[in-house]
Structure 1
Amino acid sequence: MATGNRTEVTDFILLGLSSWPELQPVIFGIVLAMYLVAVIGNTLLVIVVYSDTKLQTPMYFLLSQLSFIDIFLTTITVPQMLVHTLSVNRTISFNRCMAQLFFFMTVGSMEGHLLAAMAYDRYVAICDPLRYTAIVSRHLCLRITLTSWVIVSLNSLLYSVLVTRLTFCGNQVTHFFCDITPLLQLSCTRPVVNEMLIFTEGVAVVVSPFFFILGSYVRIGVAIASMHSVAALRKTLSTCSSHILVVLLLYGSVIRMYLRPSSSYDLDQDRQVAIFYTVVTPMLNPLIYSLRNQEVKGALKRLGKRLCISGYMQPGSQANRKWQHFS
């Protein structure tokens, strides 16, 4: 039912990444390829961490959790986008849209908390190595992870409930998934409460991990500078460079997207930036940690050897029959 320009919205129309029909097959192919690389890469990293005894440490436990998050983050948004890219019907029900908003905000916020926990792990390992095993344990990492899940879930639930209470003057969402910024733009009146929460409670939950990470690396820098050792500096850069790069990739796009006044929103540019942190960053994370980490590369080689030996010695295989013949 509609009254004037106000509409009781029962579903939304997602306009997708681009409005040009001739670009849809190209977008589908590129995004599908990146999605598959992201899912396969992160799944492989999780398997390596949990199957290799040399990676059973708090740092790699957190890394495996980050890979889980990246898999969920891309799966929440990308499959639906791929279907809509080649489909005429791009509608999503109101309830499904709110559910997608909740899960996306929860998982997206959780990534920052995990990166903060990883920064703390690096800080203790570099600045207090003798007490590392006493301070940082798998149990501590598990508690941090569970506590963070509770915090980000409650935060996302608050935002989702407030969005459901808005009155919308239209249902065409200039995005490829239900995100809070384009939904607020459809509100008939300026959503002052929602905007206040973004710049207060939202900053506390989403950006506070970034300041914690920044503080951790400042203390690491001070500790390394006091050593006056080039070797210590090189070792620190080797240990932390992957984590720093992932932090810059994530928070560069997040700050660009959300922490700015509503008057400066450009929804066409925003959906292009969104593809970066929903697909590109999850795709790059396992590559960054595997290519720049000797322990992960070694674990990948050991996993490959085990798989080759398992296939070689599989019952019924030609290689196994030859082995039994010579035995």
Structure 2
Amino acid sequence: ALTDLAEVILDQTVRDGQALLARLHGKPRLTNGKSCPFALFGLGKFGGRELGYASDIEVLFVYGGAGGTNGRRALDNSEYFERLAQDIIQSIEAKQEGIFHLDVRLRPHGGKGLLANSLDELQAYYSTTGLSAPFERQALIKLRFAAGDPALGRAVERHRDEFVYSEQPWDLAAALALRHRQVTELVERGQTNVKYSPGGLLDIEYMVQYLQLLHGHTEPRLRTPNTLDALTALGESGILTSEEVTVLRETYLFLRELIDGLRIVRGHAKDLVLPPSDSEAFTFLSRRLGYAAERWEEGAARLAADIAQNMDRIGRLFKKKFEEGRGS
């Protein structure tokens, strides 16, 4: 439901932005005189249709190619679509922190790059000879057309599949090193971060994505931006056992609910570190998640046990699949 709401808002924002810029500068055209298309894509949770409470909305802006507008105050297409992207971001700016925040960091060249890229620029960057890093190839798994021109949307999604699921070897060792750095740099000793700690949400998402990258070239059914759909496909293809799929699915849903609960209780998305299990904050969290008991402390104890059990089994499965050298 949250993803659907975000899509409706973004679609209308794109239309409003295009109408405003057309009045000021005319409509963008390609060098051959044809209309220049524009499309907005979701990445991350938005791309996977998995938005939760206070999730960032990760987006990517793409336009058809070089050219210019046909108005009196004409602009090159690159400048026109850069302004359109800026207008979209400013229009969606939330009145309350943590609600519908657009994240545009997952774009060619990251924060140093333009907000909007042409199709040619996108294809050159995300290619076997391009400048994209291994983690960017992984991030593109979640890319999904969300608003704008459907034909351009299909073209970008085709390129995504050709690049992400190509025969080009994927650097699993680099991905595991990045995951290790996340644990050592983002998780403080003695704390449990539901997202970054071993056995946390990222271990599930990365496990699924690693397997998509390793097997997606020969298993087209794995080419989906949705985590639960990918889990189903991994089970159907025999890459994961039915027991492994069940463990991953159940724990994924448990941790997503836990994260939503933390964000609702705290009113923001910044902190996913669990409060101490003997604290009033943890007891309140357990009540918010429906851990009813005659004594509130008993409900909190059950929640703490469930968290430990779920994260432990994911941590062990992650090690079994990757850190013990299997990668299968």
What is the TM-score of this pair, normalised by structure 1? 0.28
Q: Which has the higher contact order (CA 8 A, sep 6+)?
A: 1
Write 1 or 2 for the structure with the bigger share of helix.
1
Write 1 or 2 for the structure with the bigger share of strand.
2
Bigger Rg, structure 1 or 2: 1
What is the TM-score of this pair, normalised by structure 2? 0.28
